[in-house]
Amino acid sequence: MANQPTTSKSGRKSIGCAGILTLLTIAAFVGLIIIVNIQTAPGVERDKKIREQLEPYVNQYASSIEGTKLVFEEPYIEGKLVVIRSKKGESELELFFNDQLQATTPDEVSTVVLVNCDDRRVVSKYENGAKAYRVICNVTVVNLIKQIRFPTKELEGGDPPKSIIGDQEYGIGSEPTYQAFYIYKLPRK
């Protein structure tokens, strides 16, 4: 059981290889967001205007999967998109992209990308019997024009900590930090 997480009584944590990889992934994600946003230098004012236009429709976008036909082909983005993130039953608008990809008004929305990070997968147990979880984000692309949806893509988060403090009930890894990168790399039609 060499790779099993341990329970630390002192509470000291070490970063290790998984921690370094997680930090590098986060840095890459932040870099992507900076690059995508620098292309149009939109700033806070742009995001505020988009939110004013799109937030009244968040629940409608979040339920856009209903009544669509599941097609078994690789997902793609048609036209401009909105990203709706659901967590613990709450939905919110995410603004990752520049105006070439991000819809800025309801009339521009052709594709909805639903991101839900509520799932967790047990990957091991700690010495005290507590479960060690990895966060799973499910990404579903919905084409509003054709009323179709593509198979959900599962994105795995980081490893749970190697140890937990005292009598913690569980340990949980970080959320995947590359959702925006995955969406950005989808083909356009």
What single-letter amino acid sits at 90? E
**Is residue 55 within 8 Å of 93, Cβ to Cβ?**
yes
List the structure tokens of 170: 């569980």
State the pLDDT confidence band at 14, using cuts at 50, 70 and 90: very low
* Predicted pLDDT at 67: 94
Spatial neighbors of 152 by CB under 8 A, at least 6 apart, are: 138, 139, 140
What single-letter amino acid sits at 140? T
State the pLDDT confidence band at 9, using cuts at 50, 70 and 90: low
* Predicted pLDDT at 130: 93
* Predicted pLDDT at 183: 95
Cα 118-100-147 angle, rounded to 5 deg: 55
pLDDT in tens, 77-93: 999 999 999 988 899 99
State the pLDDT confidence band at 138, using cuts at 50, 70 and 90: very high
For residues 161 and 132, give the distance between their C-alpha atoms in angstroms, rounded to a whole number: 8
